[in-house]
C-alpha cells in the first residue's frame, strides 16, 4: 500500500477508536428506542447520530442506525455485543454492533473500462473512501500499471463462459486469503455464477450503466439510443442471482436529447456511473445500508 494512504488509514483508525455503530432491523413495536438508548447510556456511551424509519407503525418493520462514542470501546466491544443479545432477543432484532475503527477490506473487479476504478482510486487516495483496497482483479491487463503504481496487488484472471468455474475458484480463494468484506464490480463485464453470489450475500456491489429497471443486461446505451430516451442514468445495486435485479442502493440521471448520439450517451453515462458507484460504496463502508427484501433502507 502507498505510504501516504496507509498513514491516512492509521490516523482515521486512531481518531475513530472510540466510535461505534449499531444497526437494527426488527418488527416495529413500542419501547425499542427507549431500550436501545438506555443500554448505551448504562454503558457510558454518548449518541452522536441516530436515524430511524418504520414502514408502518402498526405492525411494520423498524430500522435504526446509531453512531455513538464510548471510552475504551475496543476493550468493551465484545462485552457490549454479548450484553446486547438480550435486547435483540426481546425485540426479535437482526442487529450488528461494531467499531468504526475496523476498516473494511475491499476487492475491486474490473474489465476494460477503467473510469469507475479510477474514481474509486482517486477517492481512496484523497482520503474520502475509507477502506483497505486489498487487491484489484481483472480479466484484462489494461489496469495493471495504474493499480500497481499505488502499491495495490493486481491479479489477472482470464474469465469467459468457457472457464468461468475455474476463474471463480481462483477469485474465491483470493477473497478468502485477503479476508475481504466487500467486492466492488467496477464495470466488471462477466456474469457471476450462483455459487459465487451465494458465497458473498449482500457483499457485492455492482454498477449498471442504465437507470434500472430499464434496459437490463448488455448494451443498454445502444438500446436507450434506439428508444430515443430523454434521460439516461446509472444504478448501483447489490448483486443477486437475478441479473441486474438486486436491491438498489443509489441511482442518478442526466438529461439528453435528439442531438446526442450513442457515443455522447456513453460519455455522459460514464460520468454518472462513477459518482453513483462511489456513493454506494461509501454508504456501505459507513454502515448506512440495511437490506429489506429486495429493497434497501439508506440512512
Q: What is the pLDDT of residues 16-44, one digit of tens each?
A: 999 999 999 999 999 999 999 999 999 99
| Rg of the chain, C-alpha, whole Å | 21
Pairwise CA distance, residues 106 & 182, whole Å: 5
Is residue 138 reached through a cis peptide bond, with omega within 30 degrees of 0 on the bond before it?
no
pLDDT of residue 57: 84
List of residues 6+ apart from 171 with CB closer than 8 A? 109, 137, 157, 196
Q: What is the pLDDT of residues 231-265, one digit of tens each?
A: 889 999 999 998 888 999 999 999 999 999 989 98
Q: What is the pLDDT of residues 170-209, one digit of tens each?
A: 999 999 999 999 999 999 999 999 999 999 999 999 999 8
Helix 3-15 to helix 115-125 angle (10° resolution) is 60
Q: Active-site residue numbers?
A: 244
pLDDT of residue 1: 63
Pairwise CA distance, residues 37 & 42, whole Å: 9
Output the average pLDDT for the chain.
94
Q: What is the pLDDT of residues 144-181, one digit of tens each?
A: 999 999 999 999 999 988 899 999 999 999 999 999 99
Structural domains in the chain, CATH included, are 17-99 (3.30.70.260), 105-298 (3.40.50.170)
pLDDT of residue 229: 87
- What's the pTM? 0.93
Amino acid at each position: 500500500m502507498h505510504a501516504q494512504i496507509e498513514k491516512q488509514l492509521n490516523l482515521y483508525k486512531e481518531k475513530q477508536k472510540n466510535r461505534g455503530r449499531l444497526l437494527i432491523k426488527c418488527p416495529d413495536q413500542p419501547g425499542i428506542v427507549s431500550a436501545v438508548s438506555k443500554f448505551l447510556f448504562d454503558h457510558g456511551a454518548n449518541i452522536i447520530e441516530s436515524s430511524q424509519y418504520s414502514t408502518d407503525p402498526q405492525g411494520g418493520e423498524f430500522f435504526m442506525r446509531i453512531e455513538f462514542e464510548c471510552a475504551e470501546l475496543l476493550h468493551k466491544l465484545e462485552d457490549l455485543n454479548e450484553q446486547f443479545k438480550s435486547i435483540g432477543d426481546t425485540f426479535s432484532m437482526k442487529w450488528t454492533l461494531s467499531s468504526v475503527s475496523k476498516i473494511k477490506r475491499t476487492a475491486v473487479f474490473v474489465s476494460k473500462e477503467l473510469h469507475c476504478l479510477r474514481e474509486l482510486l482517486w477517492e481512496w487516495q484523497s482520503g474520502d473512501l475509507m477502506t483497505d483496497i486489498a487487491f484489484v482483479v481483472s480479466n484484462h491487463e489494461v489496469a495493471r500499471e495504474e493499480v500497481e503504481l499505488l502499491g495495490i496487488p493486481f491479479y489477472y484472471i482470464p474469465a469467459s463462459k468457457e472457464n468461468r468455474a475455474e476463474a471463480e475458484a481462483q477469485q474465491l480463494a483470493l477473497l478468502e486469503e485477503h479476508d475481504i468484506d466487500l467486492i466492488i464490480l467496477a464495470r466488471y463485464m462477466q456474469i457471476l455464477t450462483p455459487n459465487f453470489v451465494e458465497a458473498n450475500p449482500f457483499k457485492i456491489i455492482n454498477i449498471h450503466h442504465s437507470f434500472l429497471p430499464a434496459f437490463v443486461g448488455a448494451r443498454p446505451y445502444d438500446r436507450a439510443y434506439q428508444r430515443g430516451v430523454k434521460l439516461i442514468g446509472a444504478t448501483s445495486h447489490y448483486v443477486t442471482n437475478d441479473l441486474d435485479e438486486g436491491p438498489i442502493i443509489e441511482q442518478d440521471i442526466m438529461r439528453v436529447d435528439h442531438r446526442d448520439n450513442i457515443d455522447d450517451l456513453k460519455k455522459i453515462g460514464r460520468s454518472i456511473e462513477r459518482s453513483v458507484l462511489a456513493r454506494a460504496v461509501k454508504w456501505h463502508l459507513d454502515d448506512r445500508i440495511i437490506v429489506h427484501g429486495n429493497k434497501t433502507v439508506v440512512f
